[in-house]
Amino acid sequence: MQSQQMIQALAQITSDFRRGDMDAAYQGYRDLFSNPAFAQGTAQDRRHALRQFVHTQGAPAEFTRTMRVAYDTAVGPLQTLVAESDDPGDRELLRALKQRLG
């Protein structure tokens, strides 16, 4: 996925959050992380998108079905990123994501 495409996807997700449309925002994350082109993006771009996702401000405390699907979808790309780079920050991000999943 080209940086510009990822920027546009993240901008749309941010817009959805600002409008209060949590389902659309989390569907946007699901679509982004499940897109085969996402895996082709740079590690830096993937890391940025996954960090934004995991550290989303204002997320509901209780998972909705849409949130659960988005979180489940993010696990694979984040595990791949950890395997590729073995970056401590990526491992911490994965721990935070799994902790949120319970």
Question: Mean pLDDT over residues 14-37, rounded?
Answer: 96
Residue 48 has pLDDT above 90, yes or no: yes
Residue 58 has pLDDT above 90, yes or no: no
Residue 55 has pLDDT above 80, yes or no: yes
Residue 1 has pLDDT above 80, yes or no: no
d(CA 98, CA 102): 6
d(CA 57, CA 34): 22
Residue 102 has pLDDT above 80, yes or no: yes
pTM: 0.92
